[in-house]
Every structure is written in structure tokens, then in C-alpha cells.
């Protein structure tokens, strides 16, 4: 990502742009002429301390997994022609804090609406946590492990293959390639749209001024009319754990694990914990999965939740439910997890996957009168506007649903609201896609919800083992469940467990979205390709209709 050098910081509309060497580095007291007042200066000092702490505390936030740099070549700077002169004195119409999916979508929508936009991110590559440490590496890793499992199962190879455990960072070779391609694709989007991208840490000085610390410890200020905060999230790290210990990991640090283990504890059985349970068992590790609740992924339809728990046990995952950490004992070559129930679990390493926190600490929100909640998240209204009228927020930093899929749409919608699009709508319905092995995907209501709401529903099911396509590609388990109103046949929920579930769900989602066509009969009266996994919809629909009397 192109770093804007101080020399680029020309001022085309009469406002001062300051650069200064970090006080911390130089040991010098800053020149008071370079700041607008004592209070502001204190805020800046505080921000710098916080930001530096964040960098120290969380180095992975700024270090992409793939260190091959893909620089932005546009060189589009403040000297460039303004696309459209909005009626204000600020340098930019809009500033975007964070170049993840939410930030990218917001920047694209803003620039296509004729606004002069700048995006700021501390990483030297675009893509955000989603591309560098979240969605992309974990899904590419899962695919490699999935291939390995199929390879080991295939009788053509089992005899010839030496069964060897592989360290995680070697399996990540494919992920590095995907990351590089993703960064390259997204870099081109910024370039083609001539969006300025600055590498640096952003924090607020006031509601129209940002302070940006570039990676060479140079600070500058930029002024803007509106801002959108899309700084994302990072793993929540409780103080009782030492994440510098080589056997203690979170979902960012795990990507650097360079040794093989026989046994690993996963603390937290949320989406990340369950996806990694599949990855580790696929690599041949024994897994202790510690769940704080009594059911896995308890918001899922309970049959699906039972199915994944059953398959996990088959693959050698020991699920320990209703447990809570007391403390962790660390040693050079092992760890012992002490649970409040009195149990002690010894293992080669631990992956802590119990929640995430919004990256708001270093933003100096106090300077603009904003306060994040205890999880570092910002509250927004239906237009993604925070309590400050020119400051918007989207993506993980606003909490629900904390998905890359939704972050992109939220960023685009927030920008649409910022520019006053009359047809902008906030994101409200998002499918669940969990990339365990096998996958889980759902949309709409669960059986439990419909029962609680006393809705007269029926169920139609299709088991993958009966589908021609599934038999051809060797899918052994999997089911598609359609929940529908028994009188109107309206589809109320779709739940899928099995490989390709995250793709299969979209057929049902499209039908559910078409209000006039949203009935089970669509699947009976429409000819699908054969043999396909989509045939599951026809089989499930006929199965469901047979129950209606
Ligand atoms: C292991 C894992 C697997 C996941 N798998 C999936 C999945 O399969 N599907 C899915 O939909 N979602 C998945 N997610 C969630 C997904 O990654 C997030 O929802 C998504 O990254 C959120 O996008 P975002 O744009 O809000 O922020 P992010 O992707 O977090 O990007 C925020 C950016 O802001 C930058 N930033 C931080 N502080 C500042 C600052 N002060 N100034 C400027 N910039 C700053 C950061 O460097 C970062 O580049 C997964 C997450 C994890 C951790
Ligand atoms: N396939 C996917 O869509 C996918 C994959 C991985 C991660 N993700 C996203 O990543 C996010 C994190 O997943 P996860 O499995 O770590 O956790 P989670 O959000 O499922 O939560 C796990 C537990 O941690 C608690 N928690 C959450 N944040 C906390 C905080 N800041 N402080 C204290 N406790 C907290 C929660 O209440 C819960 O009990 C999820 O929101 C998920 O949407 C999505």
C-alpha cells in the first residue's frame, strides 16, 4: 500500500497540515505552534501512547501473513483535481478509517458518488483483517486440510502415502497465494477508482480533524467533512493469559504456529473455535474443545447443532460443555488448563477463541465525545450514523453480525446514507455460513423459534446420501431442511449441514427474498440441472408436501 510521505501533504484549501517527529522517538517536546491548543496536544499524546501500546500488544494487526508487497501506484494526492466541490473548507469530503471489507465498500461507493475520499490503514497492504488474518487465511487453510483429508481417505493414495503430521504454517502455503491474489485484486480497485490510501494509524483530534501516524513515526493532520469508522476487530485477550508465550495462541497468532502438536486445547466453542476444531482434527491433532455453554453453536437449529457435535466426536474432538477457565499453567513444552469445575487438561498448546473486541481504543474517541461499549464497539442508528452527526461506522466495529459478508454491505450502505441516497437500506438479513468440516449454513427461523412463536410449520428434508450428485462426489453426510408454513407453504427457514452448504443456501435465500414466489411449490415446479446438489431443494420440498394434510 502506498505510504503518503509528508512531502505529499500539500494544502489546497488553506488549512494547515502539520508533520512532526514522534515525541516518544525523539524525546523532544513538540513545537506548540504545531498544535492548536494544550488540550488537543494532550489528546494527541494520549492517542499516540494508546496506539503505540496497541501496536506493541497486537503486532499481527500490522504484519500481513504474506510479506510480498503490492504497492498502490495511483499516487493520487491532495494536489489532485477534486471530483466535486462539496460546500465546505475541508481537505476531503470523506475519510475512511480502515481498509477492510467495510472500509473498501464505503470508499468505492463514496468515490463513485463523486466524493473526494481518503482511506487510512496501518497495514502496508489493503484487505483488512478479513484478508490478512481472518476470513481468507482460515478458509484457504480449511480447503488445504479438506484436500488432505480426502487425499488420505482415497484408496488410490493411502498405500503410497506416508502419514506425516504437517505444521500449520506449512499448510498455509496455499493461503499465502490466495492472500496475495486478493490483495492484488483489491489494490487494483483502489487504483482504478483513484482513491488515495495512506498507511498509518488514525485517531481523532476533533470531529473534522484526524491525526495520522505514518509508519516512519511521522505525524500529520488531515481535515474532512465526514468520516466512516471501519477499524474492525481483533481477538479478545483476557489479562490472565500471556499471549507472548509460544504455546498460547489466538486466531491471529495461530497462523504463525511453526511446530507440530499432538494435542491442542481450543478454549471457546464459537464459530472460530468450531472451525479450528475441524482444521486441527483434519491435521491429525487431538482436540479438547471447551464450551462455556451446554450446546455447540446454540443459536443454530438444534438438529444441526447436534449433528456437528456428533461428527466432532467421531473425528476425535472431546467437547467439554459448561466449563469456564480458572487459570492456565504454562511450561516450555506444554500447558495445563485449570477449569473452575476442578478439571485439569494438559496439552501441547492452547488456542483462545473466545470473542473479539472492536479496534476503538487508539481512536481517541473522547476528543469527539464518542464512547465505545465494553467490547470496544460503537453504537449506530439505522443509517450507520454514530451519535456524532458526521461520523459513521460499519463492519465489526459496530458488533452484529461481525461477518465479512455483511461488513461489505454495511460499508456500502453507510456510504449511501452519507451521500443521501434515498433508496439506501440497512443490512438486516444475513445468512450464517460456518466452515466446519462439513459446513453449516442457514437463513431464517429455526424450529425452536417457530415453536416458541406458535407458528404452524412443517419440515421437508433431503439427505445428501440419497442425491446422485452427492454419491458421485463422495459426500457421506449432510442434510437440507426446509421449514415452511403448513397453510400458506411460505418458506420460513432453511438449514443445511454438509459440504457446499454455504453455496447451497443461496438458492433458498433468493427464493425467500422474492416475496410473491416464496413458497415451497417453487422447488416442485422448477426444473433444476441434474445431477446437482441443488436437487436437494426439490427432494426436501416433496418430502415436506407429503407431510401436509
Ligand atoms: C479466524 C476468522 C475467520 C473468519 N471467517 C469468516 C468467514 O468465513 N466469513 C465471514 O463473513 N466472516 C468471517 N470472519 C469475520 C470477518 O473477518 C470480519 O467480519 C471482517 O474482517 C470485518 O471487516 P471490517 O471491514 O469491519 O474490518 P477488518 O477486516 O477487521 O479491517 C479493519 C481494518 O482497520 C484497520 N485499523 C485498525 N485500527 C485503525 C486505525 N486506528 N486507523 C486506521 N485503520 C485502522 C485494521 O488494520 C484493518 O486493516 C472471520 C474472522 C476471523 C477472525
Ligand atoms: N464462518 C464465519 O462466518 C466466521 C468464522 C469465524 C469467525 N467469524 C466471526 O468472528 C466472530 C468471533 O467468533 P468467536 O468464535 O471468537 O466468538 P463468538 O462471537 O462466537 O463468542 C464466543 C464467546 O465469547 C464471548 N465474547 C465475545 N466477545 C467478547 C469480549 N470482547 N469480551 C468477553 N467475551 C466476549 C461471547 O459472549 C461468547 O460467549 C464471530 O462474531 C463470527 O461472526 C465468522
Whether 362 and 279 share a structural domain: no
How many angstroms does the Cα of residue 166 sit away from the middle of ligand 2?
27
- The least confident of 56-70, 302-316, 401-415 is 56-70
How many angstroms does the Cα of residue 354 sit away from the middle of ligand 2?
6
Whether 142 and 176 share a structural domain: yes
Q: Confidence class of residue 196 from pLDDT cuts 50, 70 and 90?
A: very high
Whether 275 is in the pocket of ligand 2, judged by its Cβ within 6 Å, is: yes
Q: Does some domain include residue 13?
A: no
**C-alpha–C-alpha distance, residues 262 and 280, integer Å:** 10
Cell representation of residue 18: 502539520
Binding-site residues, in ranges, read: 139, 268-275, 355, 396
Neighbours of 17 (CB within 10 A): 16
How many angstroms does the Cα of residue 233 sit away from the middle of ligand 1?
6
Q: 479-485 and 491-497: which strand pairing?
A: antiparallel
Q: In ligand 1, which atom is closest to the CA atom of 251? A: 1
Q: What is the per-residue pLDDT for 71? A: 59
Ligand having the closest approach to the CA of 212: 1
Q: In ligand 2, which atom is closest to the CA atom of 357? A: 31
Across 35-39, 331-335, 470-474, the highest mean pLDDT is recorded for 331-335
**C-alpha–C-alpha distance, residues 55 and 63, integer Å:** 10
Q: What is the per-residue pLDDT for 4? A: 36
DSSP helix/strand/coil, 88: coil
Q: Does some domain include residue 36?
A: no
Write the CB contacts of 376 (distance below 8 Å, at least 6 apart in sequence): 233, 357, 358, 359, 360, 361, 397
Q: Give the end of a domain, one of 419, 450, 469.
A: 419
Q: Confidence class of residue 163 from pLDDT cuts 50, 70 and 90?
A: low
- The least confident of 146-155, 298-307, 347-356, 474-483 is 146-155
Q: Does some domain include residue 161?
A: yes
Whether 228 and 350 share a structural domain: no
Tell me whether the omega of the peptide bond preceding residue 401 falls within 30 degrees of 0, making it cis. yes
Whether 199 is in the pocket of ligand 1, judged by its Cβ within 6 Å, is: no
Binding-site residues for NAD(+), in ranges, read: 268-275, 355
Q: What is the per-residue pLDDT for 162? A: 58
Q: Which helix (H) or strand (E) holds 538?
A: helix 535-545
Domain of 506, CATH number, reads 3.30.390.30
Whether 233 is in the pocket of ligand 1, judged by its Cβ within 6 Å, is: yes
Between 432 and 217, whose confidence is greater?
Answer: 432
Question: 248 — phi, psi (to 5°)?
Answer: -115, 120
Whether 278 is in the pocket of ligand 1, judged by its Cβ within 6 Å, is: no
Whether 123 and 157 share a structural domain: yes
Q: Does some domain include residue 531?
A: yes
Q: What is the per-residue pLDDT for 170? A: 80
How many angstroms does the Cα of residue 376 sit away from the middle of ligand 1?
14
Ligand having the closest approach to the CA of 269: 2
Q: In ligand 2, which atom is closest to the CA atom of 251? A: 16
Q: What is the per-residue pLDDT for 456? A: 98
* Closest Cα to atom 35 of ligand 2: 355
Number of domains in the chain: 3
Whether 347 and 367 share a structural domain: no
How many angstroms does the Cα of residue 102 sit away from the middle of ligand 1?
8
Ligand having the closest approach to the CA of 408: 1
Q: What is the mean pLDDT of the chain?
A: 86
Whether 61 is in the pocket of ligand 1, judged by its Cβ within 6 Å, is: yes
Q: What is the per-residue pLDDT for 5? A: 32
Counting ligand 1 atoms within 8 A of each CB, the residue from 52, 407, 441 with the most, and so the one to mutate, is: 407
Whether 403 is in the pocket of ligand 2, judged by its Cβ within 6 Å, is: yes
Whether 97 and 209 share a structural domain: yes
Whether 268 is in the pocket of ligand 1, judged by its Cβ within 6 Å, is: no
pLDDT digit string, tens, across residues 405-431: 999 999 999 999 999 998 999 999 999
Whether 202 is in the pocket of ligand 1, judged by its Cβ within 6 Å, is: yes
Whether 323 and 177 share a structural domain: no
Whether 102 is in the pocket of ligand 1, judged by its Cβ within 6 Å, is: yes
**C-alpha–C-alpha distance, residues 285 and 41, integer Å:** 52
Facing residues of 440 across strands? 434, 497
Q: Confidence class of residue 84 from pLDDT cuts 50, 70 and 90?
A: very low
Domain of residue 324, residue span: 248-354
Whether 221 and 366 share a structural domain: yes
Is 0.95 topped by the overall pTM? no
Facing residues of 349 across strands? 264
Ligand having the closest approach to the CA of 412: 1
Q: Confidence class of residue 515 from pLDDT cuts 50, 70 and 90?
A: confident
DSSP output for 266-290: EE--SHHHHHHHHHHHHTT-EEEEE
Counting ligand 2 atoms within 8 A of each CB, the residue from 272, 274, 497 with the most, and so the one to mutate, is: 272
Report, as an integer, the average pLDDT of 517-544: 96
Helices (H), 392-457: 404-418, 447-452
Whether 98 and 228 share a structural domain: yes
154 has a pLDDT exceeding 80: no
Whether 400 and 449 share a structural domain: no
**C-alpha–C-alpha distance, residues 269 and 292, integer Å:** 7
Q: Does some domain include residue 33?
A: no
Whether 284 and 218 share a structural domain: no
Q: Does some domain include residue 20?
A: no
* Closest Cα to atom 1 of ligand 1: 134
Whether 441 is in the pocket of ligand 2, judged by its Cβ within 6 Å, is: no
Binding-site residues for FAD, in ranges, read: 139, 396
Cell representation of residue 21: 517527529
Q: Does some domain include residue 56?
A: no
Whether 274 is in the pocket of ligand 1, judged by its Cβ within 6 Å, is: no
* Closest Cα to atom 19 of ligand 1: 403
Report, as an integer, the average pLDDT of 70-84: 47
* Closest Cα to atom 15 of ligand 1: 403
Amino acid at each position: 500500500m502506498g505510504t503518503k510521505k509528508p512531502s505529499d501533504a500539500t494544502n489546497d484549501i488553506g488549512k494547515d497540515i502539520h508533520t512532526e517527529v514522534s515525541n516518544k522517538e525523539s524525546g523532544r517536546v513538540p513545537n506548540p505552534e504545531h498544535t492548536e491548543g494544550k488540550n488537543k496536544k494532550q489528546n494527541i499524546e494520549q492517542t499516540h501512547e494508546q496506539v503505540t501500546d496497541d501496536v506493541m500488544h497486537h503486532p499481527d494487526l500490522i504484519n500481513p501473513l504474506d510479506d510480498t508487497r503490492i504497492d498502490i501506484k495511483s499516487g493520487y494526492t491532495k494536489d489532485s483535481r477534486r471530483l466535486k466541490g462539496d460546500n465546505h473548507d475541508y481537505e476531503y469530503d470523506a475519510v475512511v478509517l480502515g481498509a477492510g471489507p467495510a472500509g473498501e465498500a464505503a470508499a468505492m461507493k463514496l468515490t463513485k458518488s463523486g466524493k473526494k475520499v481518503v482511506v487510512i490503514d496501518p497495514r502496508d497492504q489493503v484487505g483488512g483483517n478479513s484478508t490478512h488474518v481472518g476470513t481468507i487465511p482460515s478458509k484457504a487453510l480449511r480447503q488445504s486440510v479438506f484436500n488432505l483429508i480426502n487425499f488420505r481417505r482415497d484408496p488410490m493414495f493411502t498405500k503410497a502415502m506416508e502419514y506425516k503430521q504437517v505444521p500449520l504454517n506449512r499448510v498455509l502455503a496455499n493461503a499465502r497465494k490466495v492472500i496475495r491474489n486478493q490483495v492484488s485484486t483489491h489494490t487494483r480497485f483502489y487504483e482504478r477508482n483513484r482513491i488515495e490510501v495512506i498507511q498509518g494509524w488514525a485517531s481523532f483530534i476533533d470531529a473534522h480533524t484526524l491525526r495520522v501516524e505514518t509508519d516512519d513515526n511521522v505525524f500529520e493532520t488531515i481535515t474532512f467533512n465526514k468520516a466512516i469508522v471501519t477499524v474492525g476487530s481483533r481477538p479478545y485477550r483476557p489479562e490472565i493469559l500471556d499471549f507472548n508465550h509460544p504455546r498460547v495462541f489466538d486466531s491471529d497468532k495461530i497462523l504463525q504456529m511453526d511446530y507440530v502438536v499432538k494435542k491442542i486445547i481450543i478454549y471457546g466453542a464459537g464459530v472460530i473455535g468450531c472451525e479450528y476444531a475441524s482444521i486441527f482434527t483434519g491435521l491429525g491433532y487431538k482436540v479438547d474443545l471447551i464450551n462455556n455453554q451446554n450446546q455447540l453453536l446454540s443459536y443454530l437449529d438444534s438438529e444441526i447443532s447436534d449433528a456437528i457435535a456428533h461428527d466432532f466426536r467421531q473425528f476425535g474432538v472431546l467437547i467439554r460443555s459448561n466449563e469456564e477457565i480458572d487459570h492456565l499453567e504454562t511450561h516450555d513444552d506444554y500447558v495445563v488448563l485449570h477449569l473452575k469445575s476442578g478439571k485439569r487438561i494438559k496439552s501441547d498448546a492452547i488456542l483462545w477463541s473466545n470473542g473479539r473486541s472492536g479496534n476503538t481504543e487508539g481512536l481517541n474517541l473522547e476528543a469527539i465525545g464518542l464512547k465505545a461499549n465494553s467490547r470496544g464497539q460503537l453504537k449506530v442508528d439505522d443509517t450507520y450514523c454514530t451519535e456524532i452527526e458526521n461520523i459513521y461506522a460499519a463492519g465489526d466495529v459496530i458488533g452484529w453480525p461481525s461477518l465479512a459478508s455483511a461488513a461489505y454491505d454495511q460499508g456500502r450502505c453507510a456510504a449511501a446514507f452519507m451521500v443521501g441516497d434515498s433508496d439506501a437500506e440497512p443490512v438486516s438479513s444475513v445468512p450464517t455460513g460456518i466452515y466446519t468440516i462439513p459446513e453449516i449454513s442457514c437463513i431464517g427461523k429455526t424450529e425452536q423459534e417457530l415453536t416458541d412463536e406458535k407458528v404452524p410449520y412443517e419440515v421437508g428434508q433431503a439427505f445428501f446420501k440419497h442425491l446422485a450428485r452427492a454419491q458421485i462426489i463422495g459426500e457421506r453426510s449432510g442434510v437440507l431442511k426446509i421449514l415452511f408454513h403448513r397453510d400458506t407453504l411460505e418458506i420460513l427457514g432453511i438449514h443445511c449441514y454438509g459440504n457446499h452448504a454455504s453455496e447451497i443456501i443461496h438458492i433458498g435465500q433468493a427464493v425467500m427474498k422474492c416475496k410473491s414466489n416464496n413458497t415451497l411449490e417453487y422447488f416442485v415446479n422448477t426444473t433444476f440441472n441434474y445431477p446437482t446438489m441443488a436437487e436437494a431443494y426439490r427432494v426436501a420440498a416433496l418430502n415436506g408436501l407429503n407431510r401436509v394434510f
